[in-house]
Chain A
């Protein structure tokens, strides 16, 4: 166990030098080359920032889609002269009854692989919709995979819109990723007050232009609230123009009233539609509705044909900027709910780093003194191993660009306490062996050999715990699992390679003397 070939020694020390280099990289300011640019990232709990978990509420989309399906089904029946009864929507499913002779024909239409009404999703080997036939009553609803497909599409779209909105606000290196099939994780490092972002993400930003209703409206009308939540306005259900026709939007100031407004320009199709609608309805009031709330309802003084317009309302400078941002980034396909939020201020993060560093140093010093007190010279070897262990741990964390969290720092400190265990196991064994073995070299050799299985078992158990923590834990806890797990690997390395090599040099030098442990 104590023999080391030249190549082995070279490899051990090369690894140590390499990883020491990476741990030093953290303290270098100049980060030009690829290797120097690696660093340990600080978690949100250490550098401050916001963590938001958003959930896409897909129920309005399902409702809308089922409604569209009902309309196309009705069209299909009319076109093919199929008699149907009681066609209605009940709890997100379409229900109706058919004559018995039409049932087969319907099924053929429904289950055809190239049907546009009920598309076949080849990747799931399933249709978008399910149907149940009971006597002559038929019930259609979304299949399991149809819903998944729908949710995935909504999530993808939402992700894109969220990304645009966050980018527009211009925060520092945001992370925006999918979580499962209906959630989006947004991490905003360094952000002190997430309120504005939360407000921006909480809005669907569905913009519509609709006429204020007179009583003879064939499309039906509805009563909507203004943004202030008090005043109401009856507007037509017919949408003249919606947000997708917008080419751009920016905050502006009305030249006459000097009030903040949002000016927009429309795409070609939108301009034409808008021009036609406004030419025919001069003198009427056009309501501008955002997420079912009326922003304003100005009177159309003249046809707007150039495709440019201005939205006035009860804006402040900030709210006009935000509305323009929302309109530019587009509407979310479905509402987003913030289901988890964690925000840490930068000063708390700094305090945590300080506290973590202080407790690391104190814990480290205590352990080093204790080991020296217990084992004297061998204690020094254990301590050198411990110091190298910490440097290697730091180097590996840097190389893997791990995110360090406060529990992660706790994991490092815990590693300091537990890392010496490997050496303690070995030294205790050497002590025992030295009572029966005459030669020091032999005592060291069998000591290492016999302690091996205990050292391995003891560390594997902790490694298992940290692996499970890593795979199931969230956020900061993951950081703990990472440092603890990597700490075990560096501990095994330093004890079994570095520590053993140092011990072998010690044993060889002292081979003629009595040793006292």
Chain B
């Protein structure tokens, strides 16, 4: 017997419960995103970001805030970033900055804090550019979803394509929802993370689909529920091992890759976990709901002949 793998989990018993769980998560995410909104960084909102290091380690964060408020720069935020004397300042200035803008802030801060200050990173994005970056980011995500849809359609059947895309949308909404809930910043690197999640989640789904297709051709009498359950079991160990090695790499970036890559690796970690889950519990059950049978995949071969 081929289908006797050591651990044969009955995934189909969990499908209903997990689908309800997914629906709740997605709904919650949408509610959180629409009420709490997203914390867009300067890439997408425009404004100025300054990462600074103070020479004097005894500077208090409120002193920096006070000094900035005195300069009347409008909406500002200050937070610690990475090591103890590193800070991140965000200035949401709408006025047209003059060329000396950064220098003026530096001199004024350094005088108020009585400490030499090193501006380690300055990002200044005008409103026109930030609008374009946001547009490009959304376009990239939409395009990648469309490309995946078409690719799976070509390689499989529309039911598979539908399942994969619903799983992808599920992953993106939950990841973005978590970012909204935690109010983590959304910047260019998060868009990159989301696109990589799209690729990864797809990769995971495709491997299971590939096996389902193979088994559908081999066991024409078995109902799809059994086929997908067996296929999930057969590929389960691969699914887990790959997720683990990817997560090992990602945790390594998260803990040791520095403050700039924190958001990116966090989004990826969430995405890989959700993506692995959704391949099994979202994409696969959809084949069941859309009544895929052996005929669905065999028809494709006949057409080719």
When C-beta atoms are compared, the residue in chain A nearest to B129 turns out to be: A340
**Stretch of B18-26, B32-40, B232-240 with 4 or more beta carbons under 8 angstroms from chain A:** B232-240
Within 8 A of B (CB), among A87-138: none
Q: Which of A352, A425, A450, A472 contacts B207 (CB 8 A)?
A: A425
Q: Is the CB of B245 within 8 A of A371?
A: yes
Least CB distance from A468 to B in Å reads 5
A271 at the interface (CB under 8 A from B): no
Cross-chain contact B195 with A468 (CB below 8 angstroms): yes
Q: Which of B143-187 contact A (CB under 8 A)?
A: 143-144, 147-148, 151, 155
Q: Are B124 and A348 in touch, CB under 8 angstroms?
A: no
Interface size on A, residues (CB 8 A): 72
Q: Which residue of chain A has its CB nearest to the CB of B188?
A: A477
Given A355-B258, A362-B252, residue A421 in contact with residue B203 (CB < 8 A): yes
Please tell me if A276 contacts chain B, counting CB pairs below 8 Å.
no
Distance from B221 Cβ to chain A, minimum over Cβ atoms (Å) = 20
Query: How many B residues touch A, CB cutoff 8 Å?
Result: 71
Within 8 A of B (CB), among A353-400: 355-356, 358-360, 362-363, 366-367, 370-371, 374
B126 / chain A contacts, CB cutoff of 8 Å: 337-340
With A202-B99, A436-B2, A457-B206 in contact, do A414 and B196 touch (Cβ < 8 Å)?
Answer: yes
Of the candidates A347, A406, A450, A472, which one forms a contact with B261 in the assembled complex, judged by CB atoms under 8 Å apart?
A406
Contact with B along A323-346 (1 / 0, CB 8 A): 000000000000001111111110
Chain A residues in 8 Å Cβ range of B257 = 355-356, 358-359, 409-410, 413
Asked whether, in the complex, the Cβ of A420 is within 8 Å of the Cβ of B245, the reply is yes
A301 interface residue per 8 A CB criterion: no
Provide the bound-state CA to CA distance between A468 and B238, in Å: 27
The answer to whether B226 has its CB under 8 Å from any CB of chain A is no
Contact A469 B246 (CB under 8 A): no
Query: B128 → chain A, closest Cβ, in Å?
Result: 6
Beta-carbon contact of A466 and B199 below 8 Å: yes
Inside 8 A of A418's CB, which chain B residues have their CB? 200, 203, 242, 245-246, 249
Contact B189–A476 (Cβ < 8 Å)? yes
* Contact residues in B for A358 (Cβ distance below 8 Å): 256-257
Contact yes or no, A370 B248, CB < 8 A? yes
**Interfacial chain B residues near A425, Cβ < 8 Å:** 207, 238, 242
B147 touches A428 (CB 8 A): no
Partner of B144 from the list A366, A453, A464 (CB cut-off 8 Å) is A464
Asked whether any CB of chain A lies closer than 8 Å to the CB of B216, the reply is no
Determine whether B298 belongs to the interface, using a CB cutoff of 8 Å to chain A.
no
- Which 10 interchain pairs have the tightest Cβ spacing? A417-B249, A465-B199, A363-B252, A355-B258, A462-B199, A339-B126, A359-B256, A417-B246, A461-B202, A348-B120
Question: Can you identify 13 A-B contacts, CB atoms within 8 angstroms?
Answer: A341-B122, A352-B258, A362-B252, A370-B248, A417-B247, A417-B248, A418-B246, A454-B211, A469-B140, A473-B191, A473-B192, A477-B191, A480-B189
- A-to-B contact residues, CB < 8 Å: 45, 53, 55, 195, 198-199, 202, 337-345, 347-348, 351-352, 355-356, 358-360, 362-363, 366-367, 370-371, 374, 406-407, 409-410, 413-414, 416-418, 420-421, 424-425, 428, 432, 435-436, 450, 453-454, 457-466, 468-469, 472-474, 476-477, 480-481, 484
Knowing that A202-B99, A409-B257, A457-B155 are A-B contacts, what are 20 other residue pairs whose CB atoms are under 8 Å apart, sorted by A's residue number?
A340-B124, A341-B123, A342-B123, A355-B256, A358-B256, A358-B257, A362-B256, A367-B245, A414-B196, A418-B246, A421-B238, A432-B2, A450-B214, A458-B207, A460-B151, A462-B202, A464-B199, A465-B144, A466-B199, A473-B192
